[in-house]
Structure 1
Amino acid sequence: MSQTPEQRRELGAFLRSRRARITPVEAGLPLTGRRRTPGLRREELALLAGMSATWYTYLEQGRDIRASDQVLDALAGALRLPPIERDHLFQLAGRAPVAELPDAEPLAPEVAAVPLLLQPQPAYVIDGTYDVLSRNRAAEETFPGLVGDDGRRPNFVRWTFLEPLARDVLVDWEPEARGLLARVRTLAGGHPGDPRYARLVEEIHQGSAEVRDWWPRFEVETRGGGRKRLRSPGRGVVTYDYTAFHVAGQPDRTLVIYAESGGAGE
């Protein structure tokens, strides 16, 4: 598969970030006195991965060269990448199937009606960029400020980073926001060239200092459910379990359902 210039630049930056994260001791190398930079040197990583330092440097510089599956596996092993980061490495290198852009067809009425049927449990349907395609009243009440008066489609990424109320509603705002940003990066990596992700990432970069700080860390993540603590007016902190289901035949459309798992109170 072909690799876009954006993917090549992202691949180089991702490799640099992961090279800086692993110490020589963790990589099984002997200590050699004081080091000016943290992590592994380029030539050390190249040695561990069994390739020339020059070729690895070209890869990290984002040059138009192709890395084989064997080379990528060697780099992933040398960098001690967990499975999600290994998959992201292959995606950026153009060695994994690129997700097809979803059709622009509207959400089917029977799917849009599901969150309404789940009232009073907060529920909504989102697409791959976290645009909210359908929601029920409980979701609007649980996430105040999600639905704005500017006529734009609600979006959970914009709400999390740009809506001041989100920092009060999400009790654990920082880990929740950081995990969401990691998932956005993962999804964007699977849709190179999709302008929707580029616009979304640019908007939250402009409006959030945290995004500007966290994005260069190249964190990636997937999640299908979990637990959140949300602050509710008049009830205090309520713990919710939530589960996500992909819509049949439309893997980029996801139904998310919340259910209380604990009592209210701080």
Structure 2
Amino acid sequence: MTIVAAVPTQRRRRPELAAFLRSRRARVTPEDVGMPPGLRRRTPGLRREEVAQLSGVGVTWYTWLEQGRPINASAQVLDAVARTLRLDRPEREHLYHLAEVPYAPERSAADIAVVSPELQGILDALDPHPAVLYNARYDVLATNAMYERLFFQDERGGQGMNTGPFGIRNVLWALFTVPEATCPLVDRKRELPLMVAQLRGAYGRHVGEPTWEEFVRLLAEASAEFARLWRSGDVVPPGTRVKAFRHERVGEVRLTSVSLSVNGMPECRIVTYTPNDEESRQGLASLREVTERRIPPPAGDGIR
């Protein structure tokens, strides 16, 4: 029997990194970066020394990087090379992955929340079943009306969910920072450890990224329960299971959650909730009826 020795990951990635950089360099012309075309260019695109100059790095260092030598690259240097080579976001993430540097794009809450009309249409079409679009950190990127009715609307129909530390609604932040008596999960002690274990599974792909590290740190400071569960180190993947929720208007509903991946949105998923029994189906129907009625303002409001 022939035994094939395992090749270290770094040794496998370095040739890929070298080939990727060469291919990206070949497609950028001097005119693209405001340089004169020059004469006697034997190969298309920029020369190595030109990439180094435009990126503010040494020619020898960039040459070694493109040759796949085992040198270390910082995020700042990779960003400079990516700008010079005019890489888009997927290409930049690929560059970071090959260089084994954590990828941490700067994203605002507005960037995170942008969802295409087509994807929103899919969520809306799933009504009367609650549906939501999450990223791997449980940020709420988009919902349909029934999801809002079940989880977020307070007595007057307003938004009843606190935002996370980055100014966007986050399910984990909401569940761990509200009093246990007001938590919508019936079996909180079973569900919360599973959600934290799913978060840790995703965190493994983002170790060292400032946004993720800050999110975990702030939630651990805000919730001793989250901090305890995080220290357990448990990891589980998302999966289909029955969850029971309580709502002040219709009581308890039991729903089966199913996760669906979304093309073009890495680590994002649509989660749908379907009634697990007839009583829960009627509960959702009743919730639709009561929330569609106009809720009168409390006494004392309005013009006198």
Alignment-derived partner of residue 231 in structure 1: 246
**Relative to 1, partners in 2 of residues 1:136 and 1:114: Cα closer, same or farther, differing over 3 Å?**
same
Root-mean-square deviation (Å): 3.0
Q: Secondary structure of the residue that 2:266 maps to in structure 1?
A: strand
What residue number does 2:263 align with? 248
Residue 190 in structure 1 maps to residue 198 in structure 2: no
TM-score, scaled to structure 2: 0.50
Work out the CA distance in 1 between the residues paired with 2:271 and 2:106: 21
Q: What are the superposed Cα offsets for residues 207-251 of structure 1, whole Å, 9 maximum, x if unpaired?
A: 111122222211111123211000122322111001110101323
Paired residue secondary structure (1:124): strand
Q: Would you say the 8 A contact 2:162–2:174 is kept in 1?
A: no
Give the partner amino acid of 2:220. H
Out of 113, 124, 140, the residue aligned to residue 148 of structure 2 is 140
Q: How many residues align?
A: 172
Deviation track 1:146-188 (CA, whole Å, cap 9, x = no partner) reads 6448993111111121133785310001111111111111111
**Separation of aligned partners in 2, 1:223 and 1:160:** 18
- In the alignment, is residue 202 of structure 1 matched against residue 210 of structure 2? no
- 2:142 & 2:257 partners in 1: Cα distance? 17
Instruction: Describe how 1:1-266 pairs up with structure 2 within 5 A.
Output: 1=9, 106-144=114-152, 147-148=161-162, 152-164=167-179, 167-262=182-277, 263-264=279-280
CA positional deviation for 1:135: 0.6
User: Matches of 2:128 and 2:181 in 1, distance apart?
Assistant: 21
2:163/2:173 contact within 8 Å kept? no
SS at match of 1:238: strand
Q: Indicate the SS of the match to 1:210.
A: helix
- 2:200 match: secondary structure: helix
1:61-115 CA deviation, whole Å, 9 max, x = no partner? xxxxxxxxxxxxxxxxxxxxxxxxxxxxxxxxx9xx9996689663222113322
TM-score by length of 1: 0.57
Q: Is the CA contact (8 Å cut-off) linking 2:239 and 2:259 kept in structure 1?
A: yes
Q: In structure 2, what is the Cα distance between the partners aligned to 1:183 and 1:190?
A: 12
Q: Distance in 2 between matches of 1:175 and 1:203?
A: 23
User: Which whole-Å CA distance do the structure 1 matches of 2:106 and 2:126 have between them?
Assistant: 26
Q: Which has the larger radius of gyration?
A: 2
In structure 2, runs of 5+ residues without a counterpart are 1-8, 11-96, 153-158, 284-304
User: Is residue 104–residue 210 contact of structure 2 (8 Å, CA) maintained in 1?
Assistant: no
Contact 2:151 2:184 in 1 (8 A): yes
What SS is found at the alignment partner of 1:113? helix
Q: Decide whether aligned partners of structure 1 residues 179 and 167 sit closer, same or farther in structure 2, where only a CA change above 3 A counts.
A: farther
- CA distance in 1 between counterparts of 2:235 and 2:160 reads 25
8 A Cα contact 2:163 2:169, kept in partner = no
Structure 1 position 257, deviation (Å): 0.6
Whole-Å separation in 2 of the counterparts to 1:196 and 1:149 = 15
Whether contact under 8 Å (2:162, 2:173) holds in the other structure is no
Rate the CA distance shift 1:99–1:256 in 2: closer, same or farther, 3 A. farther
SS in structure 2 of the partner of residue 252 of structure 1: coil
| Code of the aligned partner of 1:220 | V
Q: Relative to structure 1, is the Cα distance of residues 214 and 158 closer, same or farther in structure 2, using a 3 angstrom cutoff?
A: same
Q: Report if the CA contact (8 A) 1:167-1:173 is conserved.
A: no
* Aligned-pair identity (%): 27
Kindly indicate whether structure 1 or structure 2 has the higher relative contact order, using CA contacts under 8 Å at least 6 residues apart.
1
